[in-house]
A and B are shown apart, each in its own frame.
Chain A
Amino acid sequence: MSSELCRVNNLTRVFNKGARDVVVLNGLNFSINEGETFCVVGESGCGKSTTGRILAGLLQPTAGDVWFRGVNLAERSKKQVKAFRKEVQMIHQDPYASLNPTRRIFDILSYPLLRHRRGMDYGELLESVSDLLTKVGLTPVEDFLDKYPHQLSGGQRQRVSIARALTVDPKFIVVDEATSMIDTSLKISLLDTLTKLQTELGVTYFFITHDLALAKHFAWNGRIAVMYLGEIVELASAQHLIQAPQHPYTKALLSALPEADPQVTRTKKRFELTGHEIPSLDNLPTGCKFHPRCPWNVKGLCGVNAPSLQSFNGSCSVACHVVHGESHKN
């Protein structure tokens, strides 16, 4: 069951901004097992979508490598590229830019079907497309088949993106904030659909979200990685991360999570950070990138040495000098 599906080594991505280089991902290491749910949460702009796009083969890393089923993505044969495209799908964060505006919903969903399963006749095609639309709650189906993306609401477009990713029976799906514009009830039922695919067909998910409660629900038996400015600062099983967060940034995220109860949410005790400094990728803090906002900051240590992601108590991995007790040695 737990054979490795995908692995990244020292994954680094740099974007050029004029004369300057902006390091968006800085040496990520992790692996994802077949049939696992791997969630990613983290600050807006910390590199989640960039990581997802690299895993889905849509963007090249600047350094480091990505392995999928034991094959380095950079060294694939033509045949392997073709197989990869069928096996790996990405549901993009932005449903307004990721659907071709000149095609009807029926076409958007039937092209990938035709490409990967040749010889379907119109009747079969219509049936498959209708099934997919029903699965994502776009009913009555006749309402949607002939519509163009601009004639749909935000959440309806997101659901078309989800349906499109499911057309070719993928084995690995990168899900980037794919349910952010959908009401809670439908969201839960869509996630249940994805979970069912996982149980039945062993689908693996790389699930990007900003909602930790949702991550906990969806990745119940999976893992959650917390990212901050291009690095993973904590990685643990979902249940462990929620119950016993170690990194101060994870603690802050959890305590800031709003709740659907006005009394509770407006009086919730927060884990206070020392600053709201705007993280600037052009001018990254030295040492631990989180230290300017960290209440645990140890002078002479955190601002000098960058902590690495290390196993803590055998139950999780954390990148923090204080958690690992290194602050006492100084």
Chain B
Amino acid sequence: MQTSVAKQERPLRLRVSNLSITYKTHRGILHAVRNASFEAWEKESLVFIGESGCGKTTLCTSLVGMQPVNATPIGGTVKYFGEDREYSILEMSDKQLAKIRWKDIAMMFQASQNAFNPVILMKEHFIDTAQSHLVGQSRKAILDKSRKLLELVRLDADRVLNSYPHELSGGMKQRALLALSFLLDPKVIIFDEPTTALDVLTQRYIIDILRDLRDKFSFCMLFITHDLSVAAELADTVVTMYAGQIVEKAPVGEIFSNPKHPYTAGLIQAVPTLSSTHEDLKSIPGSTPDLVDMAAGCQFAPRCKFATALCLKEEPQLVEVGPNHVTACHHHEYIPPIVKKG
């Protein structure tokens, strides 16, 4: 686990400040991301967890300018710090963005299963991606590198390169996309649910590889997952989102033992483990918040056992509750540490 001291010595790669993003829907404006701020340093792995539909994908796709067409960033800034200059992502044109995509910031989409063109052989995907950025690279050089990367993620490289996407299983496509995201040695890599189709041995192996590669190539990772054990395994910093907002951010060791937002605590308690019994697991009661017709106060309050009148009235802001640990909860001091099982 990295310490915060080491963190400050490394260069800053990404700074997101007060970012808000909405979707236009038939029911009205949907607030997918509200006032999100965070920073990511070189070699850091930042893991995003949170409820399904809370805005994780929207937030992360906007960092590469690939959010859906009806998404509108309504405020805030996204700064990417490259080797020699900085970029304001939200102000860049599609053409400018295309230049840094894959090469500076790569994104592995949640829709990995769908990310490949179904009528094109896998090897052409690798060649196209490389040739659109590096002029003059030979097919052979690109394929050699692709083969190495595919083997790194435990794939039978030759079979994969000569297959069409539909001939690969879910987890094979996922790993192929993972390999593709490393092709141009990016500085920031965003992974959206990269391990949903992988068995635990392959997953472990890939996590080890990601750590090694990160140490070797010094990229920083933003990682979205619902698998809290993957977060525990890989993260330096964990970010919890709820209803479009970052509600907690803390170093990994801290957040799993001492969460200071009731939603984070609830998520951790719902994880099935080999030692937990059938009755141990509890889901968080109540239904998901309405992102169009938003309630006043804390969005989690209707589902929260700590909620008081204050919570229904006033939305809590992020406050510091420990070293590098922030939470948005009026009653964070009442949240007990996680009791370890067994």
Contact = CB atoms under 8 A, between A and B. Distances in A.
B196 A216 contact: no
Nearest to A209: B199
Contacts of B97: none
B267 A183 contact: yes
Interface in A133-161: 134, 137-140, 142-143, 146-147, 150-156, 158-159
A210 B199 CA distance: 5
B154 A154 contact: no
Contacts of B159: 17, 280-282
A140 B27 CA distance: 11
B24 to A, nearest CB: 10
B88 interface: no
A278 interface: yes
Interface residues of A, number: 73
A204 B60 CA distance: 38
Given A181-B196, A183-B226, A253-B200, A15 B167 contact: yes
A213 B275 CA distance: 8
Given A183-B51, A183-B52, A262-B233, A216 B111 contact: no
A143 B233 contact: no
A137 B288 CA distance: 7
Contacts of B114: 94, 96-97
B125 interface: no
Contacts of B290: 139-140, 143
A67 B229 CA distance: 39
A217 B272 contact: yes
A142 B27 contact: yes
Nearest to A189: B283
Contacts, number: 213
Interface stretch (A2-10, A37-45, A57-65, A316-324): A37-45
A99 to B, nearest CB: 11
Chain B interface size, as a band, is: 35 or more
B232 A262 contact: yes
A154 B232 contact: no
A214 B205 contact: no
Contacts of B228: 184, 260
A156 B229 contact: no
Contact of A154 (B57, B233, B288): B57
A258 B201 CA distance: 10
Contact of B274 (A43, A139, A150, A242): A242
Interface of A: 15, 17, 41-45, 49, 93-94, 96-97, 134, 137-140, 142-143, 146-147, 150-156, 158-159, 177, 180-189, 192, 210-214, 216-217, 220, 242, 252-254, 256-266, 270, 273, 276, 278-282
Nearest first, the 3 closest Cβ-Cβ pairs linking A and B are: A155-B52, A44-B171, A258-B229
Given A45-B171, A49-B170, A140-B293, 20 more contacts: A17-B163, A41-B199, A43-B201, A44-B202, A93-B170, A96-B113, A137-B287, A140-B290, A143-B25, A143-B291, A153-B52, A154-B111, A156-B53, A184-B267, A187-B226, A187-B270, A210-B171, A210-B200, A262-B232, A266-B233
